Structure formats: C-alpha cells, structure tokens
Structure 1
Amino acid sequence: MKTIFLIALILALIPSVASAQEVAELTKDITLVEILKKGGWVMGALVILSIFTAILILLYFLTLRRSSVVSNRFMNASEAMIRKRDYLGLVGYCHGRREAVARVTQKTLDFLTKNPNASHPEIREVAEAEGNRQAGILTQRISYLADIGGIAPMVGLLGTVIGMIKSFMEIANGNIEGAKQLELAQGVWEALITTAGGLVISIIAMTFYSYFRGRVQNHTAELEAAGTHILALVGSQIQQSQTGSTSQPLRDDFPMRDL
C-alpha cells in the first residue's frame, strides 16, 4: 500500500519537476541583443529612432551656439560700417556671415536700398519680421526631438498591443497547457519590452528638447537685442542725414546717400 502511494506521489511530482526545469530555461539571463530580437520589427524601429535621437542631440550641441546667432565680431564690424555709412560694404559683409543677426541686417539694408524714403516704423517692421523668421528656424530645428518624444511611446505601445494580441489568440485557441503557460507569460513580457524601450527613448528626447529649447530662447533674446541695436544705429544715421549732419562723409557709390 505504501509502495503504491509512493509511486502515485512520484508520478504527481514529475510534471512539477518538468515545469521547474522549463521555468529555469525560460527565465535564464538574456543579453541586450536577445531582448532586441524578441522585440521584433517594432524594436528595430525603436532602435532607428534612438539613433536619430543621438545624432540630433550631438548635432544641436555642435550647432546651437551663441556664435551662430550673434557674434561680437559681427556686431563690432557692422557698427563701425554703419557709423561710416558704408551700407554697401555692410551688405557684402553680411553675405559672407552665417549668424542669424547677419540675415536680419541684410534684409533691413536690402529694404532700405529699394525703399530709400521708407519711414522708421516700416524699417522696424521689416527687421522684426526677419528676426521672427530666424527665431522660428531655430525653434523648428529642435522640434524634431519633440516629435521623436511623442512618436517613440506610440511605436512601443503598438509593439505591446501586437504581442498581447498574439498571447490572447493562444488563450482563445486553448493552447495554454503545461509549458504553453510559461511561453504565454514570456510572450507578455516580451511584448512589454517595446513599451519600455519607447518610453526610454521618449524620456531622453524630451529631456534634451527642454534643454535645447532653453538655449533657443536665450539665443532668440540675444538676437532681438542685437537687431534692435543695429536698427537704432541705422535709424540714427538716417536721422542725421535727414537733418543735414555731415559728421561722416557718405560713399559716393551708395544709392541711399539722399537719406
């Protein structure tokens, strides 16, 4: 009788031993490469987004500098030319510069060249319009990080939904006996990997977006101050010319000398 009981107990424990072995196999340590493979094509898309994020962050660190918006060298040179009323020389100088304030100055002087009788409010409006355009360009550049920050979680969630659909299809088909239960649990956590990956990319992208947005706001303020300074200098020279001041001789070839 005892022998029969022991045999029955052993037979009952065999499935549990097998299940324990399967758990050990399914829960063994996995590498990052294996995790990426288990994420499927959705994880591949997230990897591409992460590469784009890294490239954009590096690019913005290299290009979003104060010198790309306003530089002391340009301000000193432009102020000297304006005081000499060498406007044509300043236009040519602006063509060779990459600063955003150079574009504002160039647009303002181009407008003055074509409209020598323009009023100061009209000149200011042109300068402000170009300044707003340059500020918009800076803001648009960093918006790609915000786009990635919004897209990455959605892509990760899509991968999770697809994985959950597959898992529930297994349940609906009744294939959840024995090892299938462990495979089902594994399928669920594999599906959640994509959501975790998407959230990580989104957090990184949005963090750096906030940082670069602060940079852009500071650069925009400096651009506005520099543009206002140049506009004030130009307006002062025009006013002196209109009141007959001849403290500085005009260039003979300057088409706005009647100002």
Structure 2
Amino acid sequence: MDARELFEKGGPTMWPLFALSILSLATILERLWFWFKTTRREEELVERVLEASANDEWDTAAQIAKQERNRKPIGRFLYAPLKRTNPDPETFKLALEASAEEELATMRKGDKTLESIVALAPLLGLLGTVLGLIRSLSGIRLGDLGTAAGSTVTLGISESLISTATGMVVAIVSLGFFRLFQGLISGQIRIFRSAGNQLELLYREHWLNTQGKPLDRSDTEFIK
C-alpha cells in the first residue's frame, strides 16, 4: 500500500491532517533557519562587545553590536543600551531588560502553532478512526461473523486506524521539534542574562570612574 492509497483509505480527516503536517513542516523549517542564524558565531560577538567594553571602548562596542543587530537577537540586545548617549546605570539596565523581553518574544514565534498542532493532530486522527469504525460497523450483522462479509468489516476497521497513526506521527514530530526549540530558548535566556549582567557591571564601573561625566565619543554618527 503506497502513500496515496493510505491517504485515500484514511478517510476525510486525512485532509486536515495533511494541512496540519504542511503547517508544521513550514513552521519547523522557518524556526530551524532562524536558530541557525541566531546561534552562529553568537558567543564570538558577545566576547567582542564585552572585550571592547572592558577596555573602555564603548563606541567600538556599540559599533560592533550595531553591525549585527539586523542578523542576531543578541546584537540588538547589546546595542539597545549602547546606542544611548551617556545613560545613567538604571536607564542602561532598563534598556537591556526591555530589549531582552522583545527578543525573547521573537524567539517564541511559532511555539503556539506547534502546540496547537500537537493537540489537534491526535484528536483529528481519533475522529477519523471513529468515523471509520462507524462506517465499517454500520452494516454488520451477527450472521456475517466468520464469513467473507465479516472479513471485509475487519479490513475496514484496520484501515480506519490509519488516520489515528497519521495524527500521532504529525503530533510526535511537532512535539519533538517544539521541545528542541524550547531548549534553544532556554539557552538564549542564559546567554542574554550572562552577557547583560557582565555588560551592566562594566558600565556601572565605568560610570563610577567617570562620576557621571559624558562618555568620550569622538564620533557618534553611527549610533544615531
């Protein structure tokens, strides 16, 4: 039995299951591409920004973060406070926190879609099986048991389970990738927290050393 025959024998619920599988695949591919771009050379960017900040080269740190802000969430996160001119430490911290919330919301894009697919796919599969059982058992009589007619009913029951199996496959694959993306988000939270804390500490030290004096920036055009 090929895929086309399985689809046809699975019943009417195979169509919504097919739609869910396409939606799940599109979401997974989009998220995989997003995470590939996000995690690629991410730690290197953080190290470069923190190194420049530790050397009191705040304009250089801002320029490095700005160059990556269109490609990486961590770049936008670090650039949010650095683009401000001589902020006080509390404003610097608030800029980091606001940027972190925004970027984490972007990272969770697609989660609700996968969660819905995980919940709906098995139910649709079960519905297809129930409809198939109703169709198969509606015409059976006690006298048909053990005859050719009874064998036909048995075959119909086995075919009605196709939709349940399909729904479970779609749900399992979607759930697996959903958990993978959740793990990646947890990793990003740790990176954001670590990088943000280090950057804030460096800025507070710089602020205390300069006692609130304006930062030495020879050219601020790149952060306007």
TM-score range, shorter chain: 0.7 to 0.9
**Residues matched between the structures, number:** 217
Amino acid corresponding to residue 250 of structure 1 in structure 2: D
Q: CA deviation at 1:31?
A: 3.1
Using structure 2 for the length normalisation, give the TM-score: 0.76
Deviations 1:163-182 (A, max 9, x none): 223234334xx697454433
Deviations 1:122-177 (A, max 9, x none): 43233123213322322333443333222210111121122223234334xx6974
Which ranges of structure 1 fall in alignment gaps of 5 or more residues? 1-29
46-55 or 202-211: bigger deviation: 46-55
Q: CA deviation at 1:189?
A: 1.8
Find the counterpart in structure 2 of residue 103 from structure 1: 76
Find the counterpart in structure 1 of residue 5 from structure 2: 34
Question: Does structure 2 conserve the Cα–Cα contact (< 8 Å) formed by 1:160 and 1:192?
Answer: yes
| Partner SS, residue 64 of structure 1 | helix
Question: Does structure 2 conserve the Cα–Cα contact (< 8 Å) formed by 1:42 and 1:159?
Answer: yes
| Partner SS, residue 161 of structure 2 | helix
Find the counterpart in structure 2 of residue 47 from structure 1: 18
Question: Does structure 2 conserve the Cα–Cα contact (< 8 Å) formed by 1:146 and 1:206?
Answer: yes
Decide whether aligned partners of structure 1 residues 36 and 137 sit closer, same or farther in structure 2, where only a CA change above 3 A counts.
Answer: same
Q: 2:103 aligns with which of 106, 109, 134?
A: 134
Find the counterpart in structure 1 of residue 48 from structure 2: 76
Which ranges of structure 2 fall in alignment gaps of 5 or more residues? none
Decide whether aligned partners of structure 1 residues 222 and 69 sit closer, same or farther in structure 2, where only a CA change above 3 A counts.
Answer: farther
Find the counterpart in structure 1 of residue 66 from structure 2: 93
Question: Does structure 2 conserve the Cα–Cα contact (< 8 Å) formed by 1:176 and 1:184?
Answer: no
Q: Does 1:237 align with 2:218?
A: no
Decide whether aligned partners of structure 1 residues 243 and 44 sit closer, same or farther in structure 2, where only a CA change above 3 A counts.
Answer: closer
Q: Distance in 2 between matches of 1:61 and 1:176?
A: 57
RMSD: 3.4
Q: Distance in 1 between matches of 2:58 and 2:178?
A: 42
| Partner SS, residue 233 of structure 1 | helix
Q: 1:250 aligns with which of 197, 212, 216?
A: 216
| Partner SS, residue 109 of structure 2 | helix
Please give the residue correspondences for 1:211-226 in structure 2 after superposition, counting only pairs within 5 Å.
211-226=180-195
Please give the residue correspondences for 1:17-32 in structure 2 after superposition, counting only pairs within 5 Å.
30-32=1-3
Find the counterpart in structure 2 of residue 6 from structure 1: none
Q: Distance in 2 between matches of 1:216 and 1:104?
A: 15
Q: Distance in 1 between matches of 2:14 and 2:50?
A: 52
Q: CA deviation at 1:187?
A: 2.3
| Partner SS, residue 93 of structure 1 | helix
| Partner SS, residue 42 of structure 2 | coil
Question: Does structure 2 conserve the Cα–Cα contact (< 8 Å) formed by 1:159 and 1:191?
Answer: yes
Q: CA deviation at 1:39?
A: 0.9
Amino acid corresponding to residue 42 of structure 2 in structure 1: V
Q: 2:133 aligns with which of 164, 185, 192?
A: 164
Q: Distance in 2 between matches of 1:33 and 1:230?
A: 57
Using structure 1 for the length normalisation, give the TM-score: 0.67
Q: Distance in 2 between matches of 1:241 and 1:124?
A: 18
Find the counterpart in structure 2 of residue 154 from structure 1: 123
Considering only CA atoms, is the larger Rg found in Structure 1 or Structure 2?
A: 1
